[in-house]
Amino acid sequence: MQIKLLFILILLTSVRLNGQLHLHEILLKASQFYHAEKYFEAITECKRLIYFDSEKLHSSTAYEIMGDSYKEAGFLSEAVQSYNQAEIFTFDKEVIYNIKIKKIKLNILRRTTSNAHRLLNELDSLFDYTKSEEVHYWRGWTYIFEDNWRFASLEFAKINSLHELKNFCEKVDNEKYSVTFAKTISAILPGSGQIYSGNYLNGIISLGWNVLWGYLSIKAFNADRIFDGVMITSLLWLRFYNGNISNSKKSVIEKNQEITNNALYYLQNQYKGKKP
């Protein structure tokens, strides 16, 4: 009887070990596909592993490789879902941290920055100060994709006051134009807001139209042609005056967007540090 039980125990152990060996082979194959940039094959192998992994010993790793593969293939929403599953199937604090960082980078790329900030706040509360530099780093990138270069600069400065990205973000922020200032000076002197943002021709034309209709309006009032004066003022001069203020805002926004696009292009193609 004892020999029979021992035989059954050995048999079950052998089956279990063979099963685990088989799962390791699938995991290795998925990893090899990923590194060979065969992302859909890697995803298929990960799904196979998850199906056969009844004890869920490798599911976290499989879901993480799936997330990496989906990201590289450009399926960002599916990547986030895979990382969420990877986080569920592990209790390893370091693994959880790395998965959250990957989710933060995905949310930055998707411009779902509110989710990125939420995850960064979770890292702040879950991990000690030894991780703070990386948290500041990715929070800085989150602000970059929110087009908030001043806040981004402040985050990078918390890592190092001479940090390359701190100086770069500060430079971009200084280059950008103020919408409020453009509208204010346009209200005082029509066309000056456009000239302020470098749109000289538009600014000169706007000034010219306002001077013209303002002159004709005043001339009409001085000649006691009240009705003509009112019509010119209300229908033409005020139209061009208000349009000048609106146009100055539009001009600044377009110029700022150009500055932002140039900055993002530089970061994408020339910056050598870690990127989302």
Give 124's pLDDT tier (boundaries 50, 70, 90).
Answer: confident
Average pLDDT over residues 192-210: 66
Q: Is the pLDDT of residue 276 over 80?
A: yes
User: What's the pLDDT at 17?
Assistant: 35
User: What's the pLDDT at 105?
Assistant: 93
Instruction: From 114, 113, 83, select the one nearest 101 (Cα to Cα).
Output: 83
CA distances from 239 to 104, 206, 220, 222, 232 (A): 47, 11, 17, 21, 10
Residues above pLDDT 70, as percent of the chain: 71
Q: Span 31-90: which CATH code?
A: 1.25.40
Give 9's pLDDT tier (boundaries 50, 70, 90).
Answer: very low
Average pLDDT over residues 91-118: 91
Q: Per mean pLDDT, which of 36-40, 56-60, 234-238, 244-248 is the most reliable?
A: 36-40
Give 205's pLDDT tier (boundaries 50, 70, 90).
Answer: low
Number of DSSP helices (H) and strands (E) in the chain, helices first: 14, 0
Average pLDDT over residues 42-68: 87
The token pair at 235 is 């229908």
Between the two ends of the chain, the Cα-to-Cα distance in Å is: 62
Domain limits of the chain? 31-90, 94-175, 179-268
Residues 135 and 155: their CA atoms lie apart, in Å, by 9
Q: How many residues does the chain have?
A: 276
236 in Cβ contact with 255 (< 8 Å): no
Residues 236 and 1: their CA atoms lie apart, in Å, by 107
How many other CB atoms sit within 10 Å of the CB of residue 218? 14
Least-confidence region, from 82-86, 93-97, 143-147, 151-155: 93-97
Residue at 163: amino acid letter: H
